[in-house]
Every structure is written in structure tokens, then in C-alpha cells.
Amino acid sequence: MPPLGDLEEVRSFIRGTSKDTAIYVGCDSKQTQDSTVFVSVVVVHIDSCKGAKIFWRVEETKKILSLRQRLMEEVSRAVLLALEIADAVEDRPFEVHLDISPLPEHKSSVIVKEAVGYVMAQGLKPILKPDSIASSSVADFLLEEAL
């Protein structure tokens, strides 16, 4: 899994895939004692059935105390990354995966409407838990590896 450094490498890889290949972008975060660590990912699901290539980026910022602010920062980072590669995606299946649950018993549900609205306003397709594998599984796994 190559780290996400050069976006042109990601774009080039995507352009070299079939039109059946699905692209998922997501972000997850975790608090440490002094900071907030974000992992943003691009999952290139080959032919939507033959495995995937994963690109990722780890960034550390000043600790974000507000859950709402931290979750919206995850959404914002995923959207920005999606917009940065959108030209290469063309008409392939393309989704922004959010680490947010629509179920009211989960804390993340407090921002469902604003997060979904923000993603859709950018012309992108939002996917929530439990179907948001790029953020809730892939980025989560890489986040644990990074810490």
C-alpha cells in the first residue's frame, strides 16, 4: 500500500483501470494526548470485484476537542481529496465514505445531515456506516497502524 504523497500517481493509477473500477475516498481520526491524527485514503477497487489498491496520507494537527468539529474535519478532508482526484475518476463509480452513523444511538449521528449535505453540495456521493468501508475499515486500520 503506497502512501498518498503524489496525487498524480493516484490519478495515473486510476486512469489505467477499467471503467468498472470503483473509487472510494474516506478519512478517519483519533485523538492522542496532545493532537488529532487524521488518515485519508483512496481505495481503488479494481473492477469493483478484484481486490483493491490503497493510497493513504497521515496528518497530525493540534488536538480538536469538539467531536462535531473533528468529524466535520474528517468529512472536509475526504471531500477535498475526492475533488483533487475527480478529474481522473471520470465516469467510474465514485463515493465519499463517511465515518458517521445515521443511527441516533451513535454519537456521530449529530452531524449526519450537515455532512451528507456538504458532500452532496460538492457533486459527490456520500456513503454512511455501515457501508463506508474506506473510512470505517481501511482508514481506521491504517490509523491504528500509524499510532
Is the per-residue pLDDT at 2 higher than 80?
A: no
- Which residues, listed in sequence order, are joined to residue 27 by a DSSP beta bridge? 40
DSSP line for 36-47: EEEEEEEEEEGG
For residue range 34-50, what is the model confidence (pLDDT) as tens digits?
999 999 999 999 999 99
Grid coordinates in use for 76? 472536509
Domain ranges for the chain, please list them: 7-146
pTM to 2 decimals? Answer: 0.94
Q: How would you class 84 by CB atoms within 10 Å of its CB: exposed for 0-12, middle for 13-18, buried for 19 or more?
A: middle
CATH of domain 7-146: 3.30.420
What mean pLDDT value characterizes the chain? 95
3-state secondary structure of 58: strand
50 DSSP 8-state letter: S
pLDDT by residue (tens digit) across 84-112? 999 999 999 999 999 999 999 999 999 99
pLDDT digits over 6-40, tens only?
899 999 999 999 999 999 999 999 999 999 999 99
* Rounded distance between C-alpha atoms, residue 32 and residue 9, angstroms: 31
28 in the Ramachandran plot: left (φ > 0), alpha (ψ -120 to 50) or beta? beta
* pLDDT for the residue 6: 83
Residue 71, SS3? Answer: helix
Residue 121 grid cell: 453540495
Sheet with 126-127: list strands edge to edge: 52-62, 35-45, 22-31, 94-97, 126-127
Which residue carries 490509523 as its cell? Answer: 143
